[in-house]
Amino acid sequence: MTAGAEGGDTWFSRGHVLVIGAGGQLGGEFRRALSARGVPNRGAGRAAQAGSLAIDLRAPDELEQRVVADRPAVVINTAAYTAVDRAQVEVDEAMAVNARAPAALAAACARCNALLVHFSSDYVFDGAAGRAYTEQDPVNPRSVYGLSKARGEAAVCASAAPHLVFRTSWMYTPGGHNFVATMLRLFQGEAPVRVVDDQVGCPTWARLLAQSVSGLLATTQAARIDAARGLYHLCGSGHTSWYGFARAIRERAVPPARAALEPTDTQRFGAPAPRPAYSVLDCGRAQRELGVALPHWLDQLQAAMPEFNAGCVDER
């Protein structure tokens, strides 16, 4: 689907791209990927910077008006309330950012005929299936965070806006607050690092995700994107547990890890918010219908680790 359209009537050829949540992991990678392709883009977030659009995701009416006034050709919404445990008590803020804000963005995009690219989460599933989830599987979130993401994606999919919604999972990138960075920091300590071994999913490097989606939009006619609007899974292929992910990180850590790594289980770990035990996503539809796929999660990690290690400080 993606062959030979760059320079034609793509969504990118119609105007600038507005990246919501540009200061986050995925938003920053999108701005990097778009700039590398020469695509005009600007960031949007609560902290206004030179050339950026100041928005408040907790104020949906104002958010809609600001986006309409900006008149982007494409809106990429990477913003999310991601504090899974804190969302159990900060319910309204999680719902505002993850559910009501996407609905407002979809309304804005419908008004100005902009494409909305929105990202959701594997946590919309309960993890009880014991097999990879497809887009046709019913959602059944176990946490407030998961419920808020489910409501957000549903609002976008039900809207009149041209849209693509991508569920992804276990995202990381150098320079961000994420599992890889946390593990590398803990591995330089003395205390054993305990990680759950009974939650299974698909680690995803945000850089490859942003590059893949940017490439899709740069090389595909807008009409074909419109015809393919809907919900897709897109994450690293293969799967592992959090413990397996941590072990792969430890094996590639520079300087070498000092702390031991020990498996534990969800009950002993005792996190406030329940997580799905098996949230592996089947990404076959994205490959068949959009022509996009990401490498195996271990290959992604191998490629990302030199940059992570370059930022790791040995404090001995």
Q: Provide the residue-wise pLDDT of the chain in tens; the chain has 316 residues.
A: 444 455 589 999 999 999 999 999 999 999 999 999 999 999 998 766 667 898 999 998 899 999 999 999 999 999 999 999 999 999 999 999 999 999 999 999 999 999 999 999 999 999 999 999 999 999 999 999 999 999 999 999 999 999 999 999 999 999 989 999 999 999 999 999 999 999 999 999 999 999 999 999 999 999 999 999 999 999 999 999 999 999 999 999 999 999 999 999 999 999 999 999 999 999 999 999 999 999 999 999 999 999 999 986 443 2
Q: Is residue 110 part of a domain?
A: yes
Q: Is residue 300 part of a domain?
A: no
Q: Is residue 310 part of a domain?
A: no
Distance CA 2, CA 72 (A): 22
- What's the domain range around 37? 11-171+205-237+280-295
- The answer to whether residue 113 sits within a structural domain is yes
* Number of domains comprising the chain: 1
In a domain, 252, yes or no: no
Structural domain includes residue 77: yes
What is the pTM assigned to this prediction?
A: 0.95
Active-site positions? Answer: 145
> In this structure, is residue 130 part of a structural domain?
yes
The CATH number assigned to the domain holding 228 equals 3.40.50.720
Residue 163: inside a domain: yes
